[in-house]
Amino acid sequence: MPVKPAPKKEEPAKKEEAKPAAAAEASAAAPKAQKAEKKREKKHKEEKGVHAMYKTEGDKVSRTRPTCERCGPGYFTADHHDRYTCGHCGFTRYKQK
């Protein structure tokens, strides 16, 4: 029986080497762009500042949160899930269910 020469393994090996390199380049560039977009979306939080305490509907201005009963108008209470608290004096009023 004639001995067959061993099959050449050089060509497939070269192909394998070339593929991962190209894939790594492509995957390295893509996730970076996605991460930046995700961070921007997460940053969009609840608006802060005095302007967030008021809402305007036409000519009328309404307050989004009750003011502190002890400190009077101008001192808004923080809106928690079960209570309103004043950051100035610590007054707490629980929400009625």
Task: Please state, in angstroms and rounded to a whole number, the distance separating the CA atoms of residues 23 and 13.
Answer: 16
- Give the SS3 label for residue 58: coil
> Least Å distance between CB 70 and Zn ion?
5
Beta-carbon neighbour count of residue 45 at 10 Å? 6
Residue 30 or residue 78: which is nearer to Zn ion going by CB?
A: 78
Residue 2 or residue 90: which is nearer to Zn ion going by CB?
A: 90
> Least Å distance between CB 95 and Zn ion?
17
User: Which residue in 45, 42, 43, 87 sits closest to 68, CA to CA?
Assistant: 87
Residue 23 or residue 89: which is nearer to Zn ion going by CB?
A: 89
Residue 53 or residue 75: which is nearer to Zn ion going by CB?
A: 75
- The residues that touch Zn ion, with contacts defined as CB under 5 A, are 68, 70-71, 75, 86, 88-89, 91
> Least Å distance between CB 56 and Zn ion?
25
> Least Å distance between CB 42 and Zn ion?
32
Task: Please state, in angstroms and rounded to a whole number, the distance separating the CA atoms of residues 67 and 91.
Answer: 10
Cβ atoms 65, 75 nearer than 8 A: no
